[in-house]
Structure 1
């Protein structure tokens, strides 16, 4: 591709938007651009301006701070001003996960893709993906009031190219997450600067070998690049990839368990609502203790008080009893189905993943800094206890269904007798055993004592329902009685060593399902704290590079002045970092992957001694940088405007080929603390420019985003409300390869037309 073709550009469209755009990012895989608005929305649209999906704002005064597409995927990471990072799936128009951090997000991005083949030489495990073979897909959720999700929509974090998600907060804390799931270390940059009270973090980038980070910061009056190496990341990246897959599946299962329990609670609330409408309202009108006595008299002696007789005959009625029985039975069926299928299946899946992690923790050569055998064993015990609680809930539901059928069947017979109607033959008569059981059941109506949050105690009247206590975050009020003659229970009672054995899973009879779920999730979180702590403790600063010195700039200028971009150059096996060091100069740092050599290039927009006379005018001598970004490894895209006096601001776009200044690079040995202030001399860009390299743009442009893989450039103007898209690298035989004054006129016409629409 010749130089003219590389620099050619053609406008593809322009639109006036209804709101200001604050952040933009092109997808590497598809013709999708994501942008965040001043309303806090995230909008994804195609190259042809077709909107794909709009993710609403999180709330008032919550702004979008950063956007980043996962390489070759439809997953978008969004960082917000309230400390939240959301992973969004543009294809399914859904949210994959949410991460919450303490401080406002400065930047969030996905690293380049990890080539797993490069890291498999020392560690291989053929059981890595056995869960795909052994575990069937979880059944879709279809709870009352919940939207059904098909199994293929229950997206796993682990799908897609392996990479790190890097989250940077404004306070200088950096968090690494492998596959967006496994917390793989954090570092507080503020702890490594000389002036923590006069400190700004501009950017932090993970290097191409995934074992170090570059931090671009303002420390007092200096702009610095700090380099931190990490030995754990370097030596354990392969087992970390294996661990991250399990972590992603554990988090996915964790979310599924939470969604299932939410569905169960919605179905249970339907049962409670039906009972409150009919039965509890009457029970609350009766004196304390009289309810059970009145119903027992009705059962044993056939004598009904006037209150019960009026309630059963006039308020409840036979038809009402049957309707109530059917409604409650249907709700219980929904609850039982969710417990036996979804909840138990997800619990088994969780047990499988935790059991695999326990096995990995025993391979200490590879996993010693990543997993603790004792902690994984405790998580496995918590999962076993959770599964036992699920089985207990199943038994309680079966018992409640049986009790309800018996109770409502008896009520129907009583009402028919009160109305002096014949009892149909199909109605089952109570056996003596049923009568005894029903008497015990009626006697327990008012046994339920509930402790309120404020410490007071209240009694729940008409306590027909025993499943609801499992859905509350408090100990059970009615504990299921175990058979004292059961051989296993006797064995545990007589042998303390067995009761305390870590290999046996405990059955915690006092805890509710919600409490047991919380214990499991807390134990799972403990498992994945170890890699985060090990990697965090292994960050070591080994170099500090001073790039520039701020003289009279104010605090606000420091934020606005620094624009940076980073690319891991696989062809040259280097890491390339570019940053502005003042209004008209750019510093390009190129490190080799071993971090032993630094090549540095300083680009100045002002005319130099070899600038042609045609370019020596007021416009070119007054150029200032507005934005910059790597178009690809060999080209730097620059957005510039002129501040010439007596003229309106004119914006320009420049594609600068880095090869043109290769000979101007200086070399420095690393790791080393160096100052580049007097060691690197400027290379004047106009000396190297051809007359047609600087492309004039309409109006005053404020921001841009580029994509070398998509060959597109998007530029914002008109106070960030006008978006213009250009196609790059136009073929030579096309007519519109240059941005002439005529093409600028066409831009004006098209933008006017679009704004009128």
Structure 2
């Protein structure tokens, strides 16, 4: 029994010794650094993906960079070009992490980029320069939305899938490439509504459903937007702006807007937004299809017109070109001038055979695009517009959202007119292909005879009907029209398809001949038919591009009204000046600077974090406001004293330093990641990266309720101050003048940027640094020692006292050696 007591005592001593050993070890820095990089260009924005270990960076050169957490490895980069511009002014991720949105200063555009392949999926213009953006997702899941999703999937039974645009054309967008199967649904994402909120100068604030369709244009916000956040319950929008004055210093102001209409009508807003997003995508599809048609129509089609014009200007005879060709057709003889035109210009310089093949190939490509793309897209537009019209007739549900059945009917009519013009183009293409094919076949044989070459028997067969067909073509298309020279720079208009593909307001040079058309005559002579709303308007004198612009304008008008109505329903609930920016502020770009916003989905609160450097530089202020303005939830303001933030000072002395906050971002609902510097900064001391817990902040006194009639700086003395100790949740950033931080609480990572905007460090926030491994090794050795003693405790009863004493002495010796080796470490 004595042996057992001795071993138990020995085990307790060993455990106690291990605890002492651990306490003597130096305190290890928190967070593990996983990457560091010096970048060639200054970073203007850095935002973590909400779902993946990816961070998006926008630099001063206009590049959008995507980096992975592991060793901060670059995934891809999107370089600026003439289409995108060179200055990115804001950046945001879609909540599912599949699409990045960024805004451009040069072109005032917002671009949606696919994360997987760095492809531009969609873009749209904005009226003002976008200075900040926020992309949120509705947290509420409704059975109504689920049933709507199932109903939306049924559209595939009624609408065929849109044909992919051909790769061969440079204008083809990646969104409609052949590799993509369902482009619209990829942009729409989940059935739940997500909204991209844009903010800019002069109070510019707009909301875009699914990042594509504008559902609200807001008014009542003053200044330039610095930060904004739409609550996940859609009940309110918080906006922080900078209001500049000619006399006073710029003032930071907080606004809270009531968006309860969106929340109250969530199913209706989601239905309407998804239909409108389909329509917006189809308009882009139509536009790109028409652009592909323009590229398919080659300049070589104008060669015949140009050569004939040059022939008229250079020939010395008084005979017309039409008579020259008809004489060749009837008698098989050509004048010396016409023979020179045919044998020298058309054959040698252009290649007559090549010209005929190019014309036929171009017409065939345009014809396919009209049938398979323009008509398919137009039918889909009619389908979704008809569904919208049915929704608009349910006035109780959709009239408050601005859905107007009359405007939608006008849009349906405009699409019908576009379809009529596309059918007219098909008729012109079909007629031109027949005419040119017969004309080139006859002229090719005539040129072979002029050069005394062998003519194949199958080419030499030409009936009287074929001759009459060519004669009609020459009579109709080879008329000299000197009045065209001042207008188009040519005398002739043999080619009739290109005029439909010109984006001009002028009338068609050669409109279709409707003489003898029985339906046209009947329609013109019937007053009831002229006034009937069932017939689509027809524009016989206008090009396809012109009718397309009319259609786009009417549909845009249809889409804009809900944005105006919803925008007018959003009213300002709170407007509160926070602080003024001193003129002595450093010239660092205020792109990441406080204040920042956070939406707490659990408690339904908006958190606003800011500092007041002129009044209390060593304090960090947190204000929270309930997202539901109708709820009586406690909201107010607290201040955190940054003086006693650390449990010990950096150099180990008892007195802690005073700190000011450079940047702060919410790590999660209960933690704030901050970058701190000493109030009196010394060169040998690094700045601090810390995790600030918020539970102690709100566990103390009640929050200060602000008086909206007074400025915040006038009430600063009454704001309760809380003290927080960080324990070991902080780290000194050596050899780096840290300034900004970006965090991702889901992935447990943070990225710190230096004040020169080129030095970056990445940290994993839920583990200790590499030195922690040594500490774990020591504790592991201690566990081995404890485990080695357990068998002796189990077998003591069967052991003699002398043997037990020997074992105890051996165990004591091993412990001393272990302690000695640990002390050396």
Q: Same fold (TM over 0.5)?
A: yes
Structure 2 residue aligned with 1:155, among 183, 201, 205? 183
- Name the CA shift for 1:119/1:315 in 2 (closer, same or farther; >3 Å): closer
CA deviation profile, 1:42-101 (whole Å, cap 9, x unmatched): 111211233222111256994222211111232111123343221111113211222322
CA distance in 2, matches of 1:534, 1:95: 31
Judge conservation of contact 2:41–2:59 (CA < 8 Å) in 1: yes
CA distance in 2, matches of 1:450, 1:531: 51
Deviation at residue 492 of structure 1 after TM alignment? 2.1
Structure 2 residue aligned with 1:117, among 142, 151, 157? 142
Structure 2 residue aligned with 1:640, among 666, 676, 679? 676
Judge conservation of contact 2:738–2:753 (CA < 8 Å) in 1: yes
Structure 2 residue aligned with 1:374, among 383, 398, 406? 406
CA distance in 2, matches of 1:449, 1:231: 65
Structure 2 residue aligned with 1:45, among 51, 54, 67? 67
Q: Write out aligned runs for 1:554-633 (5 A).
A: 563-582=594-613, 583-595=617-629, 596-607=632-643, 620-633=656-669
CA deviation profile, 1:267-311 (whole Å, cap 9, x unmatched): 112542654786665455347972212112222343311111233
CA distance in 1, matches of 2:123, 2:509: 35
Report the more deviating stretch, 249-258 or 296-305. Answer: 296-305
- Give the match's secondary structure for 1:91: coil
Q: Larger helix proportion, structure 1 or 2?
A: 2
**Number of the residue aligned with 1:89:** 114
Deviation at residue 735 of structure 1 after TM alignment? 2.5
- Residues 1:386 and 2:386 aligned together: no
Q: Which has the larger radius of gyration?
A: 2
Q: How many residues align?
A: 721
- Name the CA shift for 1:62/1:6 in 2 (closer, same or farther; >3 Å): farther
- Residues 1:700 and 2:700 aligned together: no
- Give the match's secondary structure for 1:19: coil
- Give the match's secondary structure for 1:359: helix
Structure 1 residue aligned with 2:79, among 36, 45, 56? 56
Judge conservation of contact 1:597–1:670 (CA < 8 Å) in 2: no
**Number of the residue aligned with 2:94:** 70
**Number of the residue aligned with 2:163:** 139
CA distance in 2, matches of 1:404, 1:361: 49
Unaligned runs of 5+ in 2: 1-26, 776-825
Q: Write out aligned runs for 1:187-586 (5 A).
A: 187-190=218-221, 199-218=223-242, 223-272=252-301, 275=304, 282=311, 285-286=314-315, 290-317=320-347, 320-368=351-399, 369-421=401-453, 423-427=455-459, 429-447=461-479, 456-458=486-488, 460-472=490-502, 473=504, 474-482=506-514, 484=516, 486=518, 488-548=519-579, 563-582=594-613, 583-586=617-620
Judge conservation of contact 2:482–2:491 (CA < 8 Å) in 1: no
CA distance in 1, matches of 2:46, 2:52: 15
Judge conservation of contact 1:564–1:629 (CA < 8 Å) in 2: no
The CA RMSD over aligned residues, in Å, is: 3.5
Q: Which TM-score applies when normalising by structure 2?
A: 0.79
Report the more deviating stretch, 668-677 or 224-233. Answer: 668-677
CA deviation profile, 1:628-669 (whole Å, cap 9, x unmatched): 110011111101112425545621011011101112353577
- Name the CA shift for 1:731/1:136 in 2 (closer, same or farther; >3 Å): farther
- Give the match's secondary structure for 1:427: helix
Unaligned runs of 5+ in 1: 192-198, 739-757
- Name the CA shift for 1:289/1:585 in 2 (closer, same or farther; >3 Å): farther
CA deviation profile, 1:215-266 (whole Å, cap 9, x unmatched): 2235567643222213532332321111111111111111111111111111
Judge conservation of contact 1:450–1:457 (CA < 8 Å) in 2: no
Q: Which TM-score applies when normalising by structure 1?
A: 0.86
CA distance in 2, matches of 1:317, 1:611: 88
- Give the match's secondary structure for 2:37: strand
**Number of the residue aligned with 2:104:** 80
- Name the CA shift for 1:466/1:66 in 2 (closer, same or farther; >3 Å): same
- Name the CA shift for 1:451/1:36 in 2 (closer, same or farther; >3 Å): farther
